[in-house]
A and B are shown apart, each in its own frame.
Chain A
Amino acid sequence: MSQAILNGLLTGGLYASLGIGLSLVYGVTRVINAAHGAYIVLGAYLAWAAWQAWGIDPFAMVPVLMAIGFVLGYLVQRVLVNAVVKRQVLMTVAMTFGIDLIIVTAVLLTWGADLHIVRVPYAADGFDLAGARVPFVRLGIFGLAICMALALDAIVRRTTIGAQIRAVSQDRPAAELLGINVGHTYGVAHGLAAAVACAAGAMVAMITPLQPFLGVSLLLVAFAVVVLAGFGPIAPVLVAGVLLALSEQLVGLYIGTEYQRLAIFAVYLAVATLRPHGLFGARFYAH
């Protein structure tokens, strides 16, 4: 029981970091970025490849992955998505799913369809806390996820580009009148989201066997987090990630592990239909 709660708490951080980017892109551009799962998969495979080829620890790869993710996300937004951003939701989702398929095929052709996992030398190490085992890897993942969430929040709240992101998300025409380059702002928001997603991929690589088609289920977890949290700022996303992971763990403990994923979708559907603006009714950095 205490182990299940602890696992839920630690996995919750990772789930939140899967959701943050999706929430940011939707909050600013009103586009559901279906390629989000593919960024995570790409990050995971890059982390695995670096570990395989040069023995680089996935945690050490995080800055590199964030840089790659930022550039990729920025380019995707500016070259492709910006041109269709005002169209109806199905068009933008169809396009981002197309981007998702292209990235997934690239991963598939580069690294094949075999299962891969990064087993760092300290994978089995950890300490005991209140009758539950805390592995260092999971604790590190949790800490990193929290750090990324706080950093992203600080960027959106305290920097100039963050102010521009908030301005564009609240009132695009007014922001344009004030001379904000909307295309660039959208690009930065998408870039930040992709950076976090790629970094989250490195963490996924350490605890989940990798295969190229992992992306869709990761995307759904991310979206479930976002639906629970509402498209709001960071704190609700963290709470939602933990809630989701906890319910997953408890269902696994008391009902059976094969019902875990069903539980995620059931929670998602229930919240989506009963409280469409999320458990906390949060809006994107609006007052």
Chain B
Amino acid sequence: MRTDLRHRLATLARDRRVALVIVTGVVLVALPFALGNFWLRVMTTGLMFAGLGHGMQIMLGLAGWPALGNVVFFGVGAYAAALLNLRLGIPPILAVPLGGLVAAAVALMAARAMLSLRGSYFLMATVALNFAMLELVLVSRELTNGPQGLTLDPVVTGSPQYVYSVFYFVFLAVLAVSSAAVVLLRRSRLGFGLLAIKGNEDAAAMLGVPMFRYRAIAWAASAGLTGLIGGVYAFWIGYIDPESVFDLLISLAVILMVLLGGRLLVAGPIIAAFAYELVDVVAWRELNEARLLALGLALVVVVRFLPGGLPEVGDHLARLRGSRRPREESADAA
């Protein structure tokens, strides 16, 4: 009887989650038809940051590695895709995934040296890797056009509304892929291994978790996803320069999203990205410098007062409601 009830409850929970995913999906697909260009662009940026958040989540949420400089793979992916397209004439639909592969390859090459570093040393080494790559792009003028950046031909032509919608759906597809990747990773042997490493490194090593290989795979997956998004970004904006795609502020915004997402591995970064974009747009409409201030304040406030992110707000609200109307929730659940 008891197990039967539990089983039914579990199914209910799973159903609710499935329903939530379907509703969210339908809303996201329908949105472009209801929004003007401005808000379409805002939402597209939100989708992009949600995907980047999933990339960071693989490193931070699963493996517990503070990859602060992971924006380096955004830049590498953007430049690789753009150069493959401009210099070799490879069409964007192929150049973008190849850019992701290049980013993953860079991560694998750096893995041997950098994954042996722990904590703050790893964190700052990733930042240095980002700036080293930025300088490398700046000095390789013949190939990358240096600080002038690269201009790309438009991929799709038509009305602005049409072009914006196309990229909205591309980013939506990428987000679907990244969500699936995080869910599958979390449930795989690899994901359990990573969580074990995060929980207790020495114990995980003793239990035979292949530390280096798992971390290297996680880092390559994170880099590949980030690079893929970088490539799409390059063709979306149509112009990239080193300072804008290797910008550490992108990493900081992504980390804010992961922190805001809290324990919600997949949904967290998505919710946080849209919330952040709305705040960013309001700040940016007031005053351009206010965007930096908003990001800075958000980082300080979240770390200081809300380390559990948005789910913690939910917990507080639930507790408030719970103290006013005790036992209401358990009755609901049954």
* Residues of chain A whose beta carbon lies under 8 Å from any beta carbon of chain B: 26, 30, 32, 80, 83-84, 87-95, 97-102, 104-105, 108-109, 216-217, 220, 223-224, 227, 256, 258-259, 261-262, 265-266, 268-269, 272-273, 276
Q: Which residues of A contact B114 (CB under 8 A)?
A: 273
Q: A32-B123, A105-B290 are in contact. List 10 more A-B contacts (CB 8 A).
A: A90-B66, A90-B68, A94-B299, A99-B296, A101-B299, A102-B300, A108-B289, A220-B127, A224-B128, A272-B121
Q: Which residues of B contact A256 (CB under 8 A)?
A: 139
A88–B199 Cα gap in the complex (Å)? 12
A217–B131 Cα gap in the complex (Å)? 9
The answer on a CB contact under 8 Å between B123 and A93 is yes
The verdict on B307 contacting chain A, using a C-beta distance below 8 Å, is: yes
The verdict on B30 contacting chain A, using a C-beta distance below 8 Å, is: no
Distance from A116 Cβ to chain B, minimum over Cβ atoms (Å): 17
Q: Which residues of A contact B259 (CB under 8 A)?
A: 91, 94
The answer on a CB contact under 8 Å between B124 and A272 is yes
Q: What secondary structure prevails in chain B residues at the interface with A?
A: helix
The answer on a CB contact under 8 Å between A220 and B131 is yes
Q: What secondary structure prevails in chain A residues at the interface with B?
A: helix
In-complex Cβ contact of A32 among B124, B292, B293 (8 A): B124
The verdict on B244 contacting chain A, using a C-beta distance below 8 Å, is: no
Q: Which residues of A contact B176 (CB under 8 A)?
A: none
The answer on a CB contact under 8 Å between A227 and B293 is no
The answer on a CB contact under 8 Å between A258 and B139 is yes
A224, A261, A265 pick with most chain B CB within 10 angstroms: A265
A95–B301 Cα gap in the complex (Å)? 8
A100–B296 Cα gap in the complex (Å)? 7
B68, B114, B124, B136 pick with most chain A CB within 10 angstroms: B124
Q: Which residues of B contact A216 (CB under 8 A)?
A: 248
| Known A-B contacts A109-B289, A273-B125; A89 and B66 likewise in contact (beta carbons under 8 Å) | yes
In-complex Cβ contact of B304 among A84, A90, A224, A273 (8 A): A84
The verdict on B295 contacting chain A, using a C-beta distance below 8 Å, is: yes
The answer on a CB contact under 8 Å between A102 and B304 is no
A236–B290 Cα gap in the complex (Å)? 40
Q: Which residues of B contact A90 (CB under 8 A)?
A: 60, 66, 68, 123, 255
The answer on a CB contact under 8 Å between A98 and B297 is yes
Q: Which residues of A contact B248 (CB under 8 A)?
A: 216
The answer on a CB contact under 8 Å between B66 and A98 is no
The verdict on B135 contacting chain A, using a C-beta distance below 8 Å, is: yes
A92–B298 Cα gap in the complex (Å)? 13
Residue in chain B with minimal CB distance to A263: B135
The answer on a CB contact under 8 Å between A93 and B132 is no
The answer on a CB contact under 8 Å between A262 and B307 is no
11 sampled A-B residue pairs with Cβ under 8 A: A87-B307, A93-B66, A94-B302, A98-B299, A102-B300, A105-B289, A105-B293, A108-B289, A216-B248, A223-B124, A258-B138
The verdict on B29 contacting chain A, using a C-beta distance below 8 Å, is: no
The verdict on B120 contacting chain A, using a C-beta distance below 8 Å, is: yes
Q: Which residues of A contact B304 (CB under 8 A)?
A: 80, 83-84, 95
In-complex Cβ contact of B120 among A89, A98, A101 (8 A): A89
Q: Which residues of A contact B292 (CB under 8 A)?
A: 101, 104-105, 108
The answer on a CB contact under 8 Å between B300 and A99 is yes
In-complex Cβ contact of A84 among B121, B136, B138, B307 (8 A): B307
Q: Which residues of A contact B125 (CB under 8 A)?
A: 269, 272-273
Q: Which residues of B contact A220 (CB under 8 A)?
A: 127-128, 131
B121, B128, B304 pick with most chain A CB within 10 angstroms: B128
The answer on a CB contact under 8 Å between A98 and B303 is yes
In residues 117-143 of chain B, which contact A (Cβ within 8 Å)? 117, 119-121, 123-125, 127-129, 131-132, 135-136, 138-139
Q: Which residues of B contact A88 (CB under 8 A)?
A: 64, 66, 119
Q: Which residues of A contact B120 (CB under 8 A)?
A: 26, 30, 32, 89, 93
The answer on a CB contact under 8 Å between A265 and B303 is no
Proximity bits, B59-88, A CB within 8 Å = 1, else 0: 010001010100000000000000000000
Distance from B159 Cβ to chain A, minimum over Cβ atoms (Å): 36
Q: Which residues of B contact A108 (CB under 8 A)?
A: 289, 292
In-complex Cβ contact of B128 among A83, A89, A95, A265 (8 A): A265
In-complex Cβ contact of A91 among B117, B121, B290, B307 (8 A): B307
A95–B124 Cα gap in the complex (Å)? 15
In-complex Cβ contact of B255 among A94, A100, A258, A266 (8 A): A94
Listed from nearest, the 3 A-B pairs whose CB atoms lie closest are A98-B299, A101-B296, A265-B132
Distance from A257 Cβ to chain B, minimum over Cβ atoms (Å): 10
A272–B113 Cα gap in the complex (Å)? 9
A84–B302 Cα gap in the complex (Å)? 11
In residues 284-319 of chain B, which contact A (Cβ within 8 Å)? 289-290, 292-293, 295-300, 302-304, 307
Q: Which residues of B contact A100 (CB under 8 A)?
A: 296
Distance from A59 Cβ to chain B, minimum over Cβ atoms (Å): 31
In-complex Cβ contact of B117 among A102, A268, A272 (8 A): A272
A93–B252 Cα gap in the complex (Å)? 10
The verdict on B116 contacting chain A, using a C-beta distance below 8 Å, is: yes
Residue in chain B with minimal CB distance to A88: B66
In-complex Cβ contact of A95 among B119, B290, B299 (8 A): B299
Q: Which residues of B contact A266 (CB under 8 A)?
A: 132
A91–B306 Cα gap in the complex (Å)? 11
In-complex Cβ contact of B124 among A30, A92, A227, A258 (8 A): A227
